[in-house]
Structure 1
Amino acid sequence: MVVSMALAERAWCVVIPHHPRGARIARQRLTTELRNAVHPTLLADAVAVLAELVGNAVRHATPLPGGVVRVAWRLRPAGSDQEVDRDTVEVRVTDGGATEQPRIRAIAADAIDGRGLSIVAALSDRWGVDRDGLGQSVWAELSGSLDHDRRESP
């Protein structure tokens, strides 16, 4: 007899201030919600990506009405559908939009900033930007498919 159990997808949405302290609030909430749900390395990567996306929203974009940024994440546990064989976390940061499309920039080795989306791209499986009439959402999907054993310190 084979018993299979589908694990439900879960999602969260948090409104944070369009201010640097908003990144700390978002990191704390994400960590609290996913601490016991995903591999620690996947959680660390998701927290780093979320912090970069919030930081970019605060530095480069206008806030949503009310002076806020909307932060959301979704967990699709391994086995929650036929195509998911690893835990997948999607993080999404929605703001009022920026004058320039978010993109990875070529920067000098000694530049003090400008690496945010390069970090996002390196840690995530894929990322992108969605725009609608209200603003823009920058999202990233992480599956933990990176080599955890190689990346963890002893």
Structure 2
Amino acid sequence: MTSASTDTAWPVSALGPQGTIPRRGAKEVSGVALVVTQQVPTSSSMSVSHGPSGVGTARRRLRAELRESGTPESVIDDAVLILSELLSNSCRHARPLSEGQDVRASWSRANDGSVTISVTDGGGPTRPRPASPSVTARGGRGLTIIGSLTSAWGVREAELPGAVTVWAVLRAPGG
């Protein structure tokens, strides 16, 4: 084992434009790989269009961020389904937040692995509530599905006048 100087740096061209990471106090060891960790956001918020294309954009970003944070695939799949339902309900039953025709989707991952997902829109004529559709109905099951996957969900008035946020907390794995 040879001692490394504290003033030099590891080359890391694959990690971005900075090009180097200080290796203060590092030791060089033959045959051992250096693992560089990356901080992944534990929460995210984005504006998406009030329509089907916005749903797809938000789903892809949520999936990518949860994967990067090490979230199990089963939790990711449930989180993506919940976000899809909330955004689809917003598109169908509520107004956009702004003249730009946007709604806000956000999510956060707690230390215990639970994921909170929320969608804020311009509100609608009624507040979201689970329905009891007939067997042949084409819709009306989304909030019931969300209720079965989550430990809690609800509706609250958002900070903007007339805006509404629907949120859901997805249980941590094994929780």
Both proteins in one fold, TM over 0.5: yes
Give the superposition deviation at 1:136: 0.2
How many residues are aligned here?
133
**Is 2:168 the partner of 1:135?**
no
Q: Per-residue deviation at 1:145?
A: 4.7
Structure 2, unaligned stretches of length 5 or more? 1-39
Question: Aligned partner of 2:64: which letter?
Answer: T
Residue in structure 1 matched with residue 47 of structure 2 by the alignment: 15
**Bigger RCO (CA 8 Å, 6+ sep):** 1
How far apart, in 2, do the equivalents of 1:18 and 1:70 lie? Answer: 9
Q: 1:137 is matched by which residue type in structure 2?
A: T
Amino acid at match of 2:121: D
Name which of 59, 64, 67 aligns with 1:32. Answer: 64
Q: Which runs of 4+ in 1 moved over 4 A?
A: none
1:90-131 CA distance string (max 9 Å, x none): 000000001101000111111111111111111111100011
> What is the aligned partner in structure 2 of residue 64 from structure 1?
97
Q: TM-score, normalised by structure 1?
A: 0.81
Of structures 1 and 2, the larger Rg is shown by 2
- The residue that corresponds to 1:53 in the other structure is 86
Counterpart-to-counterpart distance in 2, 1:59 and 1:107: 16
Where 2:135 maps in the other structure, the secondary structure is coil
Indicate whether 1:124 and 2:158 are aligned.
Answer: no
1:139 offset after TM fit, Å?
0.4
Structure 1, unmatched stretches of 5+, are: 1-7, 79-86, 148-154
CA contact (8 A) 1:41 1:144 kept: no
Identity, % of aligned pairs? 36
TM-score, normalising length: structure 2 = 0.71
Give the secondary structure class of the aligned counterpart of 1:125.
Answer: strand
Q: Are 2:110 and 1:76 equivalent residues in the alignment?
A: yes
Give the distance between the partners of 2:168 and 2:136, measured in 1 at CA: 26
